[in-house]
Amino acid sequence: MTTAAQTVPRTQSDRRTKTRKALLDATIEVLLNRGFDGCSLANVAKYAGLTTGSVQHHFKTKSQMMLAVIEERLFETSDDQALELKANENIEDRCKLLVETQWQYYGDPKYLAIWSIILGGRSDPEMIGKIGEWQKNAIARHERAIKQLFADHKLRPSQVKAMQYFVNAQLRGLALLQTVEPDQANIKCQLSMLVDMLKLQISEA
């Protein structure tokens, strides 16, 4: 007898999507544990419990796999949209939201996988060119979100750009510090200081 709520069978496309995601997640783990040079198709396949042929069915080359990791697993656009929706909050809450939202990205251990790819793939012009393009687009989206978040302060484009670079530069440094000194109390204190500095700069602007 069948029930009213039956499980819908997964299609071949669903299985392919799930396998691809698992491979990309495995790639990130191998990057973090073995670095760029140790992140071969064979090692990713072993980590994911698949054959090298299965990996090659999704990614013909290591470069393709690395580009897919960045495009599909490491760059997110939803955070920018979240910022734009909070433009009516008070200035302190907006500054805190900006810092906390960005820290969710930079503070995630998988963020370091990006640097493994950038540094390891710097001799591959196609890979570096594509990464540069994605970064440029991500920066543009984030600047638009910041402008909208602080629309009532009518920040100049140069101020928005400086704010974007300043916040991200501080958080990138904190992300690296976290790998050698994972003191959460210290990290929380530095994030709070960054919020205060940001609030002061916007208020003066």
pLDDT, tens digit (0-9, with 9 covering 90-100), for 153-186: 999 999 999 999 999 999 999 998 888 888 889 9
pLDDT, tens digit (0-9, with 9 covering 90-100), for 45-98: 999 998 998 899 999 999 999 989 888 877 655 556 666 666 678 899 999 999
> How far apart are the C-alpha atoms of 79 and 104, rounded to whole Å?
9
Residue 60 counted as domain residue: yes
Does the pLDDT value for residue 138 go beyond 50?
yes
CATH at residue 107: 1.10.357
Last residue in a domain, options 72, 101, 121: 72
Residue 148 counted as domain residue: yes
CATH at residue 16: 1.10.10.60
Last residue in a domain, options 57, 72, 87: 72
Question: Same domain for 54 and 111?
Answer: no
The winner for highest mean pLDDT among 47-56, 80-89, 106-115, 187-196 is 187-196
Question: Same domain for 68 and 82?
Answer: no
Domain with 101 in it: 75-204
pLDDT score at 1:
47
Does the pLDDT value for residue 4 go beyond 70?
no
Question: Same domain for 31 and 83?
Answer: no
Rg of the chain in Å (alpha carbons): 20
Burial letters for 134-156: b for 16+ Cβ neighbours within 10 Å, e otherwise? eeeebeebbbebbbbbbeeeebe
